[in-house]
Amino acid sequence: MANRNQEDKRNKLDEEPFSYDFSKDNKVFIYWHGKQVTILKGKESDRFLSRIKNSDQKEIQLIMAKVTGNFKHGNEKTSKKL
């Protein structure tokens, strides 16, 4: 749990911005604020579905954020030693 808090410091995933749907042909559609942002197929789709199977909602949000690449945008500040 501490690891999840470290990854979502601003608690943006509490707003549940991600959702997903899946089709009969084993495709997973991932949405961000209702807009489709990625499609998972084949082994990637199977892996996603198995990862979320026993996960809570916050963890599912984190998994979707990582899968879509909408997790870090490169504008996070890092501490620099002088």
Q: Where are the domains of the chain?
A: 2-68
Does 81 score more than 70 pLDDT? Answer: no
Q: What is the pLDDT of residue 10?
A: 73
Q: What is the pLDDT of residue 71?
A: 55
Alpha-helical (H) ranges within 1-82 are 2-7, 42-52, 57-68
Torsions phi, psi of 18, nearest 5? -100, 150
Q: Tell if the pTM clears 0.75, that is, is over it.
A: no
Q: pLDDT tens across 21-80, in order?
A: 999 999 999 999 999 999 999 999 999 999 999 999 999 999 999 999 865 555 555 556
- At 53 the three-state DSSP class reads coil
Gap between the Cα atoms of 55 and 10, Å rounded: 21
Gap between the Cα atoms of 13 and 15, Å rounded: 5
Q: What is the pLDDT of residue 76?
A: 55
